[in-house]
A and B are shown apart, each in its own frame.
Chain A
């Protein structure tokens, strides 16, 4: 049982380039999330999804797009990378039991540097 898997683990982009970060979970979770982690800022939510085919904006969505074509996958796209998007990106998933959202299960992170 792999849990939440992110690819790639590291990437360097030039300003203006585009890329897609991949996230896959094998726990059949309904909810999936993309966060970015910056020093002193904690984890900030970029986008999330409450089910296949649905996505919604989080706190810091500008410059990113997402898609959830299959329940197990959540893709994060950078259309035109900027140095301000240098960060560590975490994907996470969770599920509902009754009226309670469970805790999030996180991937290992993708360290992205934009030069």
Chain B
């Protein structure tokens, strides 16, 4: 099945640094979602984006819906130890009626060095 290209696959950063990760697709979406998975837990939604070009923040997190509708970016500012986890992007093509498939990225594993 289709997978989104998410990069980087993993990263080690120092506490206090900013982090950027992105997701690209060969097909367009009209919804982009960013999830975080803490160790031993299920993914939890961080940010949802519904319009091309949209820039949305949630505390230290900022995500953007790419203009081409084929990509999205997530930035974390001033990282802290609890930012550790796996970050997943997910794309969805919303249409009226029925189930709309969600495609998940392969994840970015973030480790923060105190």
What residues make up the interface of A, taking CB atoms closer than 8 Å to B?
Answer: 4, 31, 40-45, 48, 50, 56, 58-60, 90, 92, 99-101, 103-109
Contact = CB atoms under 8 A, between A and B. Distances in A.
Interface stretch (B14-22, B76-84, B90-98): B90-98
B85 to A, nearest CB: 13
A92 B102 CA distance: 12
B86 to A, nearest CB: 9
B65 interface: no
Nearest to B106: A42
Contact of A42 (B50, B88, B98): B88
B53 to A, nearest CB: 18
11 contacts: A42-B88, A42-B105, A45-B1, A50-B99, A90-B42, A92-B42, A100-B50, A101-B102, A104-B43, A104-B45, A106-B44
Given A42-B104, A43-B104, A106 B99 contact: no
By secondary structure, the A interface counts as: strand
A10 B45 CA distance: 24
A74 B35 CA distance: 22
B94 A56 contact: no
B43 A101 contact: no
Interface centre among A41, A42, A60, A101 (most CB of B within 10 A): A42
Interface in B23-41: 31, 33, 35, 40-41
A99 B45 CA distance: 20
B100 interface: yes
A58 B50 CA distance: 24
Which of A48, A99, A101 has most chain B Cβ within 10 Å? Answer: A101
Given A41-B3, A103-B35, A103-B48, 16 more contacts: A4-B42, A42-B3, A42-B6, A42-B88, A42-B107, A43-B104, A45-B102, A60-B1, A92-B42, A100-B50, A101-B92, A101-B94, A101-B99, A101-B100, A106-B44, A109-B40
